[in-house]
Amino acid sequence: MVQYRRNYVAGGTYFFTLALHNRQSSLLTDHIDELRFAFKATMEKMPFEIDAIVILPEHMHAIFTLPEGDVNYSSRWRLIKSLFTRQLIKKGVALTRNHRGEYNLWQKRFWEHTIRDKDDMNHHMEYIQNNPIKHGLVANAIDWPYSSIHKRSP
């Protein structure tokens, strides 16, 4: 098995991509309140800053900045994914289990990239902003309701 190496920078800023196991699903946007709950509860337990985020039906992109001295983004994502899954089960959403008894909701891994500088940050912010357009969900980024673009000043 290939050893996956993650980059850890204390207090760093990171770009992430996470996806549902079923790439035809729309659970993330269909259950946006449950996803918001998972983020809020995680941020209360393990603080971090969301610099930008976009939630699409079956995947999401986000930029997080961790507190000074903290490198533990993996535990934050594990908690967000777990809380969202539990919220869906609580609502009665039928989720299947794999041969190990785990729910087949999320892809196992997530993709991360350490933001290097201001240009890199701007590039990834633009990517997040334009992702709903790229996927044919809207013609204008401002029209996608599940994006941090609405919190950015013009």
Catalytic residues: 146
Q: What is the CA radius of gyration of the chain?
A: 16
d(CA 39, CA 62): 12
CA-wise closest residue to 14 among 110, 83, 153, 148: 110
Rounded to the nearest 10 degrees, what angle do helices 32-45 and 73-91 cross at?
A: 140
> How far, in Å, CA of 91 to CA of 93, rounded?
6
| 74-to-54, 134, 135, 150 alpha-carbon distances in Å | 19, 27, 27, 27
